[in-house]
Amino acid sequence: MKHLVLFAIVAAQAAAADTLVAARTIPAQSIIGASDLLLQDGDTTGGTDDPLLLVGMEARTALYAGRPVLPADVGFPAIVDRNQIVPIIYDMGGLTITTDGRALGRAGAGETILVMNLTSRTTVTAQIRADGAAYVSR
């Protein structure tokens, strides 16, 4: 009997959960503001009720009005665009090698993308830092 009461309490709390939804259709690559979100009754798997996880982030795909906005649908605002020429920096144990590369995707600070070395045409995986450079590690 205790388990049924506990289950009923947990179920009631889950039913009372809220989820943030898009207040309007938000195009991909748009920065999300507080006015772009509404709190709606209902719990969505993977959804959130914390606007701090979404406000100021960039929509990675189009977000449609009335649909839940998932943290996976947003990312840090891109500072590097696809096909942009960026410095590639390899820094290891006092040795620093710098060359130019072409970003093969969009990325924000801290994200990892593929970058093509313009000299050798080799593709490397690099992390984009706040300065917009692609840092290659081992």
Tell me, yes or no, whether 71 and 9 share the same domain.
yes
Tell me, yes or no, whether 17 and 51 share the same domain.
yes
Tell me, yes or no, whether 117 and 87 share the same domain.
yes
Residues of the chain short of pLDDT 70, as ranges, are: 1-16
Tell me, yes or no, whether 82 and 63 share the same domain.
no
Distance CA 23, CA 64 (A): 8
- How many domains does the structure of the chain reveal? 2
Q: What is the pLDDT of residue 43?
A: 80
Distance CA 66, CA 81 (A): 29
Could you write out the DSSP letters of every residue in 48-76? -S-GGGTTT-EESS-B-BTSB--GGGEES
Q: Which among 52, 75, 98 is the end of a domain?
A: 75
Q: What is the pLDDT of residue 93?
A: 86
Range of the domain at 99: 78-136
Tell me, yes or no, whether 57 and 90 share the same domain.
no
Q: What is the pLDDT of residue 14?
A: 46
Tell me, yes or no, whether 52 and 9 share the same domain.
yes
Tell me, yes or no, whether 54 and 89 share the same domain.
no
Tell me, yes or no, whether 37 and 85 share the same domain.
no
pTM of the entire predicted model:
0.69
Instruction: Supply the CATH number for residue 130's domain.
Output: 2.30.30.760
